[in-house]
Amino acid sequence: MNSIKRFGVSIENNLIDKFDKYIKSKNYTNRSEALRDLIRKELVGEEWLQLDKNAAGAIVLVYDHHKRELADSLIDIQHDYHKIIVSTQHIHLDRRICLEIVVVKGKINEIYQLESRLKSTKGVKHVSLSKSTLAEDI
């Protein structure tokens, strides 16, 4: 673990009051932990702008499995991206609707391509990408 560096921050009273409320609502024990998490969140966002960098994440999709040939199309797409797919989990939300979680690790541009292919597949109702990091630099 890296050593800790202390530093001072000048901030308006109303802004720190709002930050303190945020800290309490998120169950942080102190400002430092909350600030570290906010910094990390921004740094992960910056990582995802570097398309040739490696990262990790999860793509969640919701679809009607009764839609003709949709399941086969989704499987074919996943096979096209087998090098970046770590795992998938399939959940039946009801008799028709399924939720699938696709855990990915690889080049960011390839993750975006997979997300785009899944989104544009006819019959897919919703796709959401949760961006994370390999935590090499943060």
Half-sphere exposure at residue 55, Cβ-oriented, CA atoms within 13 angstroms: 25
Domain layout of the chain by residue ranges: 13-47, 54-132
Tokens of 87: 């795992």
Give 65-118 pLDDT, tens digit per residue: 999 899 999 999 999 999 999 999 999 999 999 999 999 999 999 999 999 999
CATH architecture observed for domain 13-47: Orthogonal Bundle (1.10)
User: 0.75 cut: is pTM over it?
Assistant: yes
40/46 Cα distance (integer angstroms): 10
Distance CA 136, CA 55 (A): 10
Asked if the domains 13-47 and 54-132 are classified in one and the same CATH topology, the answer is no
The matching CATH number, chosen from 3.40.50.2300, 1.10.10.60, 3.40.50.300, 3.30.70.1150, for 54-132 is 3.30.70.1150
